[in-house]
Amino acid sequence: MKSPLLFIAVALVGCGKLEEAPEDSKNRIVVQTVSIPQNLIDEFSGEKSLEEIKTLTSFGPRPPESEGYRKSLVHLEKTLGALGWKTHQQKFSAVTPVGQVKFTNLIARFSPEKEVDWNSSVPFVLGSHLDTKRFHSITFLGVNDSGSSTGVLVEMARALSQAPEAAGQIELVFFDGEEAFLTNIDPKRDGLYGSRYYAAELNRRTSQPEAGIVLDLVGDMSVPLLIGLDSTKSLRTQAINAANKLKFTPKDIQMAPSPIIDDHLPLLTRGNLATLHLIGDFNKMPYWHTKDDTLEQISAEALAQAGRLTMQILVQLTSESGR
């Protein structure tokens, strides 16, 4: 993550109160599919997310090609597999400012019985990066960046598996190479490697998903979640409606004051996928990209908020009232 001001900042509603966006029927996302039950939201556990993050970060730093990344992949495959999710390693290599690097995205679908056709799609994609930024001078565990969003996705996999038909509509993707090798992400040259590759591959499938949600840095209760400005408008509206439904306050969630570069961008542009970006306000995280991004920075409460918000959005997107 993320250098925030490479684009010209466009203020939408500023940093203040979260407001209802105007109705946006023209671009509304309509998914003819199985409703995700409202009561499934209560299944999501912040505590279980936290436990998952503790396990993940026990493998050490997770930059591309590292031992920590490889162990994380093995762990996720095992954990998701036990919950009924089939996994697929999407491997590729790319030229980076430090030379050719090998990357592996991990894709998962709920399908306890049948094999999965990885060339087709299901309606929804939920994404988080799995890699941590590579540092030579410090041990960077990346508990909030990107342990938090990864732990939330794994807990969503567990909660959703309680409703098998609903879970079958969701693809999880854990992106490699979100972080830049140099200081800041440059969307064309450095960083977003995994999401760029995944988005390009989406176009080659026999069917496409309807909507995506990308989470990042969601573990810190002391800062608000930001709804990314360049998210698809109808999904921003859904996020606002979901936050209101869950009685979030401006301390919990706000519109981002300016565009933020992250894995949602390739999905929107290269993947042509309606996408929502939800990210903790990293400008208010003095530990961001330092050795202090440790377990002290995150809480089960914040993880529960992010997970429940994401599930509420999915409930809305699959229910008559949400359309």
Point out which residues bind Zn ion (CB under 5 A): 1, 145
Q: Toward Zn ion, which CB reaches closer, 217 or 273?
A: 217
Which of 39, 35, 32 has the alpha carbon at shortest distance from 319?
Answer: 35
Q: Which residue is nearest to Zn ion (CB)?
A: 1
Task: Give 145 or 252: the residue with its C-beta nearer to Zn ion.
Answer: 145
How near is the Cβ of 117 to Zn ion at its closest, in Å?
Answer: 33
Q: Which is nearer to Zn ion, 1 or 298 (CB)?
A: 1
**Which of 214, 212, 312, 197 is closest to 263 using CA atoms?**
214
In whole angstroms, the minimum distance from the beta carbon of 322 to Zn ion comes to: 31
- 33 vs 66, which CB is nearer to Zn ion? 66
| Rounded Cα–Cα distance for residues 259 and 227 (Å) | 10
Burial 103-116 (b: 16+ CB within 10 A, else e): bbbbbbbbbeeeeb
Choose between 126 and 217: whose C-beta lies nearer to Zn ion.
Answer: 217
Q: How far is the CB of 197 from Zn ion (least distance, A)?
A: 18
Is the CB of residue 87 less than 8 Å from the CB of residue 106? yes
At closest approach, how far in Å is the CB of 256 from Zn ion?
A: 16
20 is written with which tokens?
């209802």
Residue 22 neighbours by CB under 8 Å, 6+ apart: none
Whose CA is closest to 177, among 131, 109, 146, 122?
131
Least distance from Zn ion to the Cβ atom of residue 131, Å: 9
Which has the closest alpha carbon to 298: 77, 52, 64?
52
Q: Which is nearer to Zn ion, 145 or 190 (CB)?
A: 145
The minimum distance between CB 141 and Zn ion, in angstroms, equals 12
